[in-house]
Amino acid sequence: MSTPFIPNILLVDDEEENIWVIENFLKDIPCKIYKAYDGRQALKLAPVINPDLILLDINMPEINGIEVCRALKKEPKFEITPIIFVTAWGDLNTHVEAIEAGGYSFVTKPVAREQLIAYVSQALHVKQTGDQATKMLESTRSAVGMLVHDLRNLIQVNHGYLQLVLGTRALSEEASEFVHVAKQSAMEMQILVNAILDIEKKESVGLQVASSQVSLTELVQQRVTYASVIGQGKQLDVFLPTKEEPAEVFTDEIILSRVLDNLLLNALKFAPAKSLIEVRLEAASPGWRISVSNDGKPIAAEYHHKVFEKFSQIELKQKAGLRGVGLGLAFCKMAMDSLGGRIDLESPRPGHKTGTVFHLHIPLRSESEQK
């Protein structure tokens, strides 16, 4: 048996008589009514009671109703909370300004009981429906998250067994090639699954950054070695600074490694057979820049920003003829934002008619700056 919906309604008006009238009109609606007598009280009380509906006067001293509405709508928890303006102001400009601030609808003073109840009932129905949809979405996301976690574990087991099989000498050359392709696919799936989980974590609680002193030279060499296992038949050239230039930064090594893995995998997918993947690490004041380039089909300028959008893959497949651009690059954008850096691209490659180069801009950040 479901729990009955008993909404919290916040009444905001600087005249006590107006609040009394509205409260009396709503006595037949099962609800909990809270009162604020100016804008400041409303802004302090709303986060405490988490109202399902706000009935808000416009013409109040110090902070008017439109300013209250605008301030509340900046907070994520009030994005879907309906705000009905109960006001004597009927000019069009005021109504437009109030709606643009996030208002749901208007009831004009003097208030008619039937009109108020109709508007309130409709707004509460919208809020309840929105809450139910949010809970359903959270439940679905939680279930998908658990499934993806289980999938990652299975991929890791599969990858391990394939590695053991490749280590034996009982396979024919043809069978060995088949197993190697399966192992490559498992590695690609593992990178994709990690991107899905990291994006989910970023959207739910934020990507947790655990920074330490990192050698970018060692990191780049390590990730290129990993990628070379996937990219058989495609050459990876690495250009690193001299030993006299210590490419060290204070950042999250695990997150940055995943970003590089996604960019390298992306380059390997787009690069033609037996072509060159170039990875370059160079100083770019006030930090460092890692560039990953390939000679594949260039990305049209109008799609440069879209490759970093979540689930942009379908549109890009249809309009730009691209493949494999979706969650991986979306994760790269989220991750670089969390690290205080940025990612961008050039396509075609400078001085060429084909290819794409992705740039990671990594700032120099000390341990004290991270805290």
Q: Can you give the pLDDT at residue 44?
A: 93
Query: Which of residues 204, 233, 258 is at a domain's end?
Result: 204
Same-domain status, 68 and 16: yes
Orientation of helix 253-270 relative to helix 173-204, angle to 10°: 130
Rounded CA separation 7/75 (Å): 20
In a domain, 99, yes or no: yes
Q: Can you give the pLDDT at residue 368?
A: 43
Domain count, the chain: 3
Q: Can you give the pLDDT at residue 273?
A: 75
Nearest to 11 by CA among 31, 30, 32, 36: 36
Q: Can you give the pLDDT at residue 127?
A: 87
Same-domain status, 200 and 221: no
Q: Can you give the pLDDT at residue 1?
A: 47
Same-domain status, 199 and 218: no
Dihedrals φ, ψ of 251, to 5°? -155, 180
Same-domain status, 221 and 361: yes
Maximum Cα–Cα distance across the chain = 90
Same-domain status, 218 and 362: yes
Same-domain status, 156 and 248: no
Residue recorded with tokens 């994709």: 192
- Quote the tokens at residue 59: 């013409």
In a domain, 117, yes or no: no
- Omega before 286 within 30 of 0, i.e. cis: yes
Domain residues for the domain of 249 are 212-370
Residue 289 sits in a domain whose CATH number is 3.30.565.10
**CB contact set of 371 (below 8 Å; sequence gap of 6+):** none
Residue 102 sits in a domain whose CATH number is 3.40.50.2300
Query: Which of residues 95, 111, 127 is at a domain's end?
Result: 111
- What are the 10-residue block averages of pLDDT along the chain, 371 residues in total? 79 92 89 93 93 92 91 90 84 81 86 89 87 73 63 69 72 76 72 68 65 92 82 75 83 90 83 83 90 87 80 50 59 88 92 91 66 46
Element (H, E) at 96: helix 92-100
Q: Can you give the pLDDT at residue 220?
A: 93
Q: Can you give the pLDDT at residue 69?
A: 93
In a domain, 28, yes or no: yes
Same-domain status, 263 and 180: no
Same-domain status, 160 and 260: no
